[in-house]
Structures are given as C-alpha cells and as structure tokens.
Amino acid sequence: MTLHDSDVLVEQDEEVSDAVENDAAEPAAPVISTSERTLQAALDWHLRSARPVEAVTVVEQSTHDGAGADAVAEVSRRVDELDPELQQLAIELHDDPEIGFSERRSVARIADVLRRHGITAEIGAFGLPTAFRASAGPADGPHFALIAEYDALPGVGHACGHNIIAGAAVGAFLAAAPIAERLGARLSLIGTPAEENGGGKELILRAGGFDDVDAAGMVHPGAGSAVSPVLAPRTTGVRRVAVTYRGRAAHAAASPWLGRNALDAVVTAYQSVAQLRQHILPIDRVHGIITDGGAVPNVVPEQASALFYVRSAEIETLRALTDRVVDALRGAALATGTVAEIDVDPVPPYLPLQHNHELTRRWVQAVRDRGRAVPTSPVVQGQGGASTDMGNVSHYVPSLHPSIGLGGPDDVHPHNAAFAAHTIQPASFAALSDAAVALAVTAVDFLADPELRAEVAAEFAANGGRFRWTDSADE
C-alpha cells in the first residue's frame, strides 16, 4: 500500500465538495479521524489490562494417548541414527549463509539429505524459487506440516539459528515419515524462505500451501538452556513502513533558500516517531533506520529515505500504531515542504503468534522425556518483543512454535554474531536432536490420535478459527 501526500489532499478536497453538495439534503455521518480511531484502540487495551488479574490454572499435561511408547522409541532411535547427517547439515548451512529469497544452496543441501533417504523435494513450490515441499503418506489422511527455515541475517549469518531450525525439521520429518505412512496419514516438510525479511510463510499461505494442512509445527532456538513452557510468551506482529521524501536540490552554501531538504524531512520523521514512543502501549514497539541521507553535504538532498518496523502484540493495536506512524511521516513532509511517498507493507505483515496449547503440551511432554527441564507456565502470559511469519500460519491452522535453549550463555541471544557461532557447538547439536525427536513425536501423536486432533481443532476454533490479514484489511 503506497500513499502519497497528493492523494490525501485530493481525498480531502473531494470530501469537502461532497459535504457542500449534500448540505441541503441530510446531515453527513460523522467522520472518525485517525487520531480518534487509534486512541479508541489504546483505550480498549487499557480497559482490558486494568481488570484485576485472576489466577489462571494452566493444564500442563495432555490427557490423550498419542501414538504410544513404541512410536516414541522408533522416533528416538531414528533421530539418533540421523544425528551425524543433521549436524553436518547445520554446519554447512552455518558456513555458507544465504539471506532471504537467495537460499538456493541451502535448499539444495536440504534436498540432498532428503534424497539420500528416498524422499524427493519439490524445489520451487508455491511459486517461490527457494521454497520446497516434501510429503509422505496419502493425501486424504490427517495432515501435519513440519516447518523449516534456513535464511540467514545480513552481516551476522545464522545468528537466529535457522540452521538449527532446518536440521530439527528435517530430522523430525525423516524420523516420523514411516510412522505417518503406516497410519494412513500425511506428513509434510515445508521449506519456507525469507522469514527474516520477506514473509515467505505468508506468501505460501496466499498460494494455498496450507489449505489442506490440519496442524503445523516448528521449533526455534534460544539463549541459555531453557525450554519455553506450555503458556509461552506471545510474539508481536510487525508491519514495515518505508518512506521516501522528495525535495529540491540546491547549493547548500550559495543558495540554500532554493532547496527543500529531504534529509530534514527524514530527521523530522525520525524524531516524531521517537516522541511517539512515550505514548504507545506497553505491548507496542517501533524502531527505524535512515536508508538514504543524500550524497554530499554541499548539495541540499532532494531525496532521502527511512524504514520503520511497527510492532504490537495484538492485531487491532498493530493497525492503530501503524496509522500513528504514518501520520508522523506525513507531518514531516508538511513541516519541511517536501513530498512523502509512504509504502506500508512492502513485505507482508507478520501477525502475533497464536500458540495452540494442546499441541504445546504434547511437545513439552516429549521434550521432558528427553531429559530437558521445562518450567511451569506463568499465571499471566508474557508479551514477546520479536516477530515471526509463523504467526500468520498460526492464525490459519493450529500451530506449535516452542523455543529450546542451545546451552550457551544466558546473555547471548539471537541476532548476535556470538549466537551464530554457538549454533555449531556440541550443546547445540544436542538441542537439535532433542528438538527433532519432540517435533516428530508431537506430529505422530497428532496423526495417530483422533481425540487429540479434535481437542486441537476445538481450541483453534474457540480462538476464532482461520484468519488472514486480508480478511479485515485496511484498504
């Protein structure tokens, strides 16, 4: 969605003209301004959060049978056999990082591992060159999708541990596929590009890649050795807002009065957003960078650009905060005599993650069986600060997205170069193995147990069922 100041002025003029023409007929409906709408969203959240907190009893244990002890033993044995290949895959991905939508060598390496075990991956699935899909079992059975990520971060490589995510997903798929086939169920491994910068999962959703999926799951690495509880912190949703200001070039010393400084507009916009932070909700975040500030100091910059990330833990407050940021960017253009070209959602928005607690209970039980300590859930669900396009999937199918610590220092978190280095240490390989087993067990439990599937589906329906951002888009 691209906005121009000129578009806004035309719309305002048309509204005034329409009001004059209709003045003699009947009173026009009151127009709700952006500021009123965003304030109402804040008030709604404030009233909800101000209610007394009641103690919440979280059910920590699943009561369903799942696939049984023999299936768990088979999965564990199979992952143990796969460990050398999974570790080598994680090392190769670490040593040759590729950013989003460029992960060709990464996908080829994953496909090679699958090929050695008789599985053919469809590379280029869903119209995306670096997406893939591999499946086992009949198309008409219950369907669980394991999710792999493998894109890296610019400059710091696999500092988000996507090499571990890929290794765990591949291991879980290869370990669980034979069981799924015997159950007459379907298990898929879906390779999703560009989690960091492009919303690959949302693009796959738009291509129908999850239409026949009954549940999905992946695991994300984290700092220290902790495993997320059943009631895990939610992530925020995120929208990107890019702005380019266009002014007029002039000699900065000889005739600056002839110029209109686009860099001044960017600086004004940045400061306006910084001032906005004082009055945003505790569940909100906004941050940005200047991506273009001009060429040389002695020319008044006629073009300058910035990029902002707008985050919130709820969908409506995410919309409201985006509106406020866009207003700030427009105001900067007015203040500096420049024209703002504002691009909202140059890549798909990411929705807040919606955990399916029954699926998470199965994961917790499986990872505890591997000897991992999992804390009990807090009374109140925490609010996370990061975002993931798995949030989009979680509003479309019941989803699992726990985290597992890689055994490194507690203060070395993802998006730090030191975290990337830790992903190829022995403790991280142990976490990869445990994650693969727990993911595989959760998948086969779901596929084997109709009562478990019914509870997972009922919880998802109680949370509103399938939802897409486009179901209630701004435009």
Classify residue 261 by its DSSP letter: -
Sign of CA dihedral 36, 41, 46, 51: positive
What mean pLDDT do residues 87-106 have? 98
Alpha-helix runs per DSSP H in 96-130: 104-116
Interatomic CA distance for residues 185 and 38, integer angstroms:
46
pLDDT tens digits for range 147-191: 999 999 999 999 999 999 999 999 999 999 999 999 999 999 999
User: For residue 32, what pLDDT is reported?
Assistant: 55
Q: 260 forms bridges with which residues in the sheet?
A: 248
pLDDT tens digits for range 197-249: 899 999 999 999 999 999 999 999 999 998 998 887 779 999 999 999 999 99
Please give the order of strands across the beta sheet that includes 2-4.
2-4, 339-344, 237-246, 303-312, 284-292
Band of pLDDT at residue 15, cut at 50, 70 and 90: very low
In a 3-state reduction of DSSP, which class is residue 81?
Answer: helix
Residue 26 pLDDT exceeds 60: no
Interatomic CA distance for residues 288 and 325, integer angstroms:
11
- Report whether 463 contacts 397 (CB < 8 A): no
User: For residue 379, what pLDDT is reported?
Assistant: 55
Classify residue 199 by its DSSP letter: -
Q: Which has the closest alpha carbon to 362: 172, 212, 186?
A: 172
Interatomic CA distance for residues 59 and 52, integer angstroms:
21
Residue 30 pLDDT exceeds 70: no
Q: Which of 2-16, 77-91, 192-206 has the lowest mean pLDDT?
A: 2-16
What does pLDDT average to over the chain? 90
Residue 372 pLDDT exceeds 70: yes
Strands (E) across 204-331 are located at 215-217, 220-222, 237-246, 284-292, 303-312
User: For residue 382, what pLDDT is reported?
Assistant: 60
What are 291's two structure tokens? 């991506």
Residue 385 pLDDT exceeds 90: no
Interatomic CA distance for residues 459 and 324, integer angstroms:
34
CA atoms within 13 A on the CB side of 45: 19
| Length in residues, the chain | 475
- Report whether 160 contacts 427 (CB < 8 A): no
User: Is residue 355 classed exposed, middle or buried when 0-12, 13-18 and 19+ CB atoms within 10 A define those classes?
Assistant: buried
- Report whether 143 contacts 214 (CB < 8 A): yes
User: For residue 377, what pLDDT is reported?
Assistant: 78
User: For residue 227, what pLDDT is reported?
Assistant: 92
Q: Which has the closest alpha carbon to 147: 109, 190, 108, 114?
A: 190
Q: What is the pTM of this model?
A: 0.89
Q: 4 forms bridges with which residues in the sheet?
A: 341
The residue with greater pLDDT, 338 or 12, is 338
Helices 69-95 and 162-183, axial angle in degrees (round to 10): 150
User: For residue 1, what pLDDT is reported?
Assistant: 64
In a 3-state reduction of DSSP, which class is residue 257?
Answer: helix
Query: Which uninterrupted H or E stretch holds 344?
Result: strand 339-344
User: For residue 49, what pLDDT is reported?
Assistant: 66
pLDDT tens digits for range 416-439: 999 999 999 999 999 999 999 999
Interatomic CA distance for residues 7 and 475, integer angstroms:
14
Interatomic CA distance for residues 377 and 429, integer angstroms:
26
